[in-house]
Amino acid sequence: MASTKMAAVALLLVAMLMASTAPSASGFCFPDCYERCSNGKAGVQACADMCAQACVVPQFAPDGTDLSKLNPGGN
């Protein structure tokens, strides 16, 4: 009986650890928001501004690129 409880607790801890290390959905917030707002159009500044406020958007890319200088959704 004690080994069954120990196995259940161990399984629960492993499940919690796996859930806590999974990537969050917030990384997909801006592209999804922008696509829905702009209906596939590129360079819609109003959508970029709204989605930047609605989503947690980093100011700089990992390589140091200033994301505010990029053309939103553009080529």
Q: What is the rounded CA–CA span in Å between residue 31 and residue 40?
A: 11
- pTM, two decimals, is 0.42
pLDDT tens-place values along the chain, 75 residues long: 677 877 666 665 666 655 555 445 556 788 888 999 999 888 899 998 998 888 865 677 778 877 777 666 555
Q: What is the rounded CA–CA span in Å between residue 62 and residue 43?
A: 23
Q: Do residues 49 and 21 lie in contact, with contact meaning Cβ atoms separated by under 8 Å?
A: no
Q: Do residues 66 and 60 lie in contact, with contact meaning Cβ atoms separated by under 8 Å?
A: yes
DSSP state of 24: P
